[in-house]
Amino acid sequence: MFRDLTIRTRMIFLLIISSVLLVGIGYLGLRNMKSSNQNLVSVYNEQIVPIRRLKIIADKYAIDIAGAINRGANGLTTFAEALEQLNKATLVVERQWDLYTTSQRNIPDEEDDIIQELYGLMEMANGSLENARHFLREGDMIGLTLYAMDDVGNLVTPISSKISHLIDVKLDRTKSLYEMSMDSYQNQKNIALFVILFGIALSVSVCSTLIRTINKSLLQVTEKLEDLATGDADLTKRIPVISKDEVGKLSQNFNLVLDKLNKLVRGIQTSGGDLNFSAEKMAISSQSLNKTVKGFGDFTFEVVNTTKQISSTSVDLLETMNDVSKVASNTAQLAISGQSSLSEMKENMSKMEESSNSIAVKLAVISDKAASINHVLFAIFKVAERINLLSFNASIEAEKAGEYGKGFSVVAREIRRLADQTRSATTDIGKIVGDMKGAVSEGVKEVGNFSEEVTDYIEHLRGTTKQLVQIIREVQNLGPQFEKVYHGMQDQAEGAVLIENSIVELSDGAKVAAKAVSETEQNILKVKQSASDLQEEVGRYKVR
């Protein structure tokens, strides 16, 4: 079936296959990118954002709510300020909890059970906080102090522990989603590689079959032309027609020329005896015979020229098909280069993912440290003021008591030692701030690297696009090459017509010569010699 197609149809078929493969590869790449983007968005919205909200809730309980109660109990703030801070922190907790619960859909049973347990603990905490609000509104320092000592730790610790457990569960689920995405990506990559390899193999097979069939037919035509040029040709043999394309039509037309030439030579061989028999009558028409022989020579010259033209056209056809082979080779090389560009694009996407993960980790570190430092510095500042005040009061009381105030002096010394420890803690906090700045700088550096990698990725895409454009141009160049083949075949057909016309004229001349030989008698010996020479020449051709 493939041999019944024309060369133009085969090339169109090859172009369609290549285009479909390129479109398929591009579609697979776009689908993989879209799937990866959707997975990242899903993980961020369903896992990372809820974890951040849980962290805010835990910080509000551990720092803002507990801190407000402790500062009020220690007299570091007024009861009104502590109550306001407590209410603000509670509102933030409620808002973050509502956002968290509304974003959780299709969660596992284990995670749902933990959420229900955490909700119960928060409800108990809210009920217990009503007592703290009552103490702050009534200004009950003793009740607030006892509440801070006995209830705050029992209030905050279970909630923080449960939130930590829930965060661990969500992190495990995030890891599972990541592994599933990687498996899906690997499967898509294997499919893309299979399509590329299949396309290359199919293109090479079609091109090799096309080139082999064309070369075989042209080689047979060339060999037959060389055989005719030697003068010892076998006119009984024909060129096998192995296809119905343009080359097959050329072989058919050449076989028709051989049939006519075979008929002509056979007729000349048959007429040799008749020519000898009628030699006595040729003397009268010797002059006419000479003219006819001269015309026969001219016609023979035209036949030779036509044969040369056919041979030259055959050589041009071979050169044209050689160019087609080179174009096919260039196309295969460009396809291989396109595969390499796609591989580099995959590696760049992996680097982008790694940079994004690194930025997320460092920003989380910055957020944790920033949240801790603000509250710690504020608490240390208030504690330091309180210690200095107690130290001063203890010194005054020791002076007043005299001998009985020695115990107060000991207390004053201990308080001053505590103040020194507080200053040491402030120094440590300064180091933490330094670490935080380093983390911020590192995060900026990672963001810069990410931007550069994105730029490189765009450049690679541009290079791939240029290569695809070059492939299209190479394929378009095939059209003029096959147009040249068509014109060569047209020249062959015109040459065959000239050969046929020359043979007709040769036949007419032979009739005139026969008539002239019948009318001549004086030159019978010369005519016989000429007839003998003619039989010798045509006898070199094998005919049916």
The CATH number of the domain where 177 resides is what? 1.20.120
Which residues lie across from 273 on neighbouring strands?
none
Structure tokens at 114: 């933990």
Measure the CA–CA gap between 317 and 495, rounded to whole angstroms: 15
Q: Is residue 469 part of a domain?
A: no
pLDDT of 98 reads 92
- CA-based torsion, 144, 148, 152, 154: positive or negative: negative
Domain that holds residue 157: 1-192
Q: Is residue 514 part of a domain?
A: no
Judge if pTM exceeds 0.85.
no
Tokens 């409620």, located at residue: 94
Helix (H/G/I), strand (E/B), else coil: 539: coil
Task: List the Cα angle 460/466/469 in 5-degree steps.
Answer: 145
pLDDT of 256 reads 79
* Digitized pLDDT (tens) for each residue of the chain, 544 residues in all: 556 667 777 778 778 887 887 887 788 778 777 777 777 777 777 778 889 999 999 999 988 998 989 998 898 999 999 999 999 999 999 999 999 988 877 788 888 889 999 999 999 988 889 998 999 999 889 988 999 888 888 888 999 999 999 899 888 888 887 888 788 878 878 887 887 888 788 778 877 776 776 677 677 677 766 776 665 666 676 677 666 666 667 677 777 777 777 777 677 667 666 666 665 665 566 566 567 656 656 655 665 576 567 567 656 655 665 665 565 566 556 656 655 665 676 576 567 667 656 765 665 666 666 566 656 656 665 666 677 677 667 677 767 777 766 666 676 677 767 767 766 776 776 677 667 667 657 765 775 676 677 567 557 656 666 665 575 566 556 556 646 655 655 675 566 557 556 655 655 765 665 566 566 557 667 766 776 776 676 666 666 6
CA atoms within 13 A on the CB side of 170: 25
Q: Is residue 173 part of a domain?
A: yes
pLDDT of 510 reads 53
Q: Is residue 20 part of a domain?
A: yes
pLDDT of 93 reads 93
CA 121 from chain centre, in angstroms, equals 52
Burial label, 162 (beta-carbon count in 10 A; 0-12, 13-18, 19+): buried
Measure the CA–CA gap between 406 and 402, rounded to whole angstroms: 7
Tokens 């010369």, located at residue: 526
Which residues lie across from 542 on neighbouring strands?
234
The number of folded domains in the chain is 1
- For 202, other C-beta atoms within 10 Å of its C-beta total 14
Question: Could you tell me where the DSSP H helices lie in 104-151?
Answer: 109-138, 141-150
pLDDT of 163 reads 92
Tokens 């500042």, located at residue: 381
Helix (H/G/I), strand (E/B), else coil: 285: coil
- For 82, other C-beta atoms within 10 Å of its C-beta total 23
CA atoms within 13 A on the CB side of 425: 15
Q: Is residue 249 part of a domain?
A: no
Is the distance from CB of 22 to CB of 341 less than 8 angstroms? no
Q: Is residue 28 part of a domain?
A: yes
Amino acid, res. 366: I
Structure tokens at 418: 């505590």
Tokens 């160019």, located at residue: 323
Q: Is residue 459 part of a domain?
A: no
Q: Is residue 137 part of a domain?
A: yes
pLDDT of 329 reads 65
245 DSSP assignment: S
